[in-house]
Structure 1
Amino acid sequence: MKRFSFLGISLVLAAVFAFSASAQTTAAPAKIGWIDTGAFANEKEGIKRFTNAMTALGNEARPKEQELIGIQTRVNTIAEELRKLSGQPANIPVDQNAVRSKQDEGARLQREFEFKKKEYDAFIEKRSGEVLGPINQDIGKAIGEFAKQKGYVVVFDIDKLAQAGAILMLDPAADITKEFITFYNARPAGAATAAAPR
């Protein structure tokens, strides 16, 4: 009798485990999506906080950009003047001191341009981190929340994959960019506050 009840319990447990295993194999397939993070900067359809921060950063950098453009314009003007001086007919004398002076001024302006360009690049890198860093972190957290809420097990950054040349085939049905942007723009403006311009 003990053997019979032990055999019966074993069969019942085997049936339960078999049913449990078959239930696991019929689970829904894992959802995979991709987001084009390059679309976040689109002024019309992008992430509003991101585009606003980019605009603020652009406004903050504009005086430095204008200064670089002014220096480059002066360098180009001097180069054109030197070209005209060197293209004069041989019977018209050229003031070598004026040529040397313009060459020196052009070289000085070129060095100034290179120095200011390095300053500008360092400024942009620093301020981008300060202004866009908190927003990018918030976007990363929001992608995690969005994926969990919608049941995605993997979300790819298609912009980065495209830059790396790592895309062989892409199904547009897996594009969740617009859906995520709508989700993000509907969130309250909490942690994603940009640093104030200086």
Structure 2
Amino acid sequence: MKKIAILVIISLFFTGAFALKANAGELKFGFIDLNRALNESDEGKKAVTALESLVKSKQNLIAEKEAELTKLKNEIASQTAILNSDALKKKQDQHNDLLKVYQRMVQDSKDEIQKKQADFMKDIIIDIKKVIAKFGKDEGYTAIFEKLASGLLYMPESTDLTNKIIEIFNGSSKK
């Protein structure tokens, strides 16, 4: 129900805005693939490289902990027949504790990577949106839509502004 209300409000807003603009002159629309702009911009590529580096370091730490777990599990399996029940229970408790540490490490690593990714992308999206707004204003666009989120089924290639925005964004981020 909320979605319908929001769509109605957006429709009314755009209908009113377009009616005013139509009286003033030509309507000009553009579309941008924000995901592509994120991934292909210089800043986006730097963020991806930093994330890949973080993922690799976390994977190495997790692999080390996994090797410890495997070693301890193999020790328990090979010594089950020769250990008394107290010693066996101690080894199993040690394995369970190490397993909990491992699982926590995996979850913490996932959380950290997701947070870093969100932080990187949030900052880049804010900067890209500033570039889009300035470009739209300077070039006289009535509206610029996000290509994938708009539910767009067709658009002429000439209305895709993604390459222009990436080019402008790359130029502005080098300054």
TM-score normalised by L of structure 2: 0.62
Asked whether 1:171 is paired with 2:165, we answer no
Contact 1:32 / 1:152 at 8 angstroms: preserved in 2? yes
- Matched to 1:119, the amino acid is D
Among residues 24, 27, 46, which one is paired with 2:25 in the alignment? Answer: 27
Aligned-residue RMSD, C-alpha: 3.6
**Residue in 2 aligned with 1:185?**
170
How far apart are the structure 1 equivalents of 2:88 and 2:43? 52
CA distance in 2, matches of 1:140, 1:41: 11
Unaligned runs of 5+ in 1: 1-23, 86-92, 191-198
User: Per-residue deviation at 1:112?
Assistant: 1.1
Q: Bigger relative contact order, structure 1 or 2, given CA contacts below 8 A and separation 6+? A: 2
Structure 1 SS opposite 2:25 = coil
Post-superposition offset of 1:111: 1.1
What is the distance in 2 between the residues matched to 1:178 and 1:77? 52
CA distance, structure 2, for counterparts of residue 123 and residue 111 of structure 1: 18
Give matches, 1:53-92, under 5 Å.
Answer: 53-75=47-69, 81=74
Kept after mapping to 1: 8 A contact 2:38/2:44: yes
Would the alpha carbon gap of residues 77 and 48 (structure 1) be closer, same or farther in structure 2, given more than 3 Å must change? same
**Amino acid corresponding to residue 31 of structure 1 in structure 2:** K
Structure 2: which amino acid aligns with 1:50?
G
**Aligned residues of 1:40 and 1:51 also touching (Cα < 8 A):** no
Counterparts in 2 of 1:104 and 1:51: CA distance versus 1, 3 Å: same
Q: Deviations over 1:25-81 (max 9, x none)?
A: 4821x2222211221344xxx1102211331243245322321233345546767x5
Q: Does 1:148 align with 2:137?
A: yes
More helix by share: 2
Tell me, which stretches of 5 or more residues in structure 2 are unaligned? 1-21
TM-score by length of 1: 0.56
**Identity percentage of aligned residues:** 22
Alpha carbons of structure 1 residues 129 and 171: separation in structure 2 relative to 1, 3 Å? closer
User: Which residue in the other structure is 2:4 paired with?
Assistant: none
Give the conservation status (yes or no) of the 8 Å contact 2:31–2:145.
Answer: yes
User: Equivalents in 1 of 2:63, 2:37: separation in Å?
Assistant: 28
Q: Which residue of 1 aligns with 2:44?
A: 50
Match of 1:112 among 97, 101, 107: 101
- Cα offset, 1:158, TM superposition: 2.9
User: How far apart, in 1, do the equivalents of 2:24 and 2:138 lie?
Assistant: 21
- Structure exhibiting the larger radius of gyration computed from Cα positions: 1
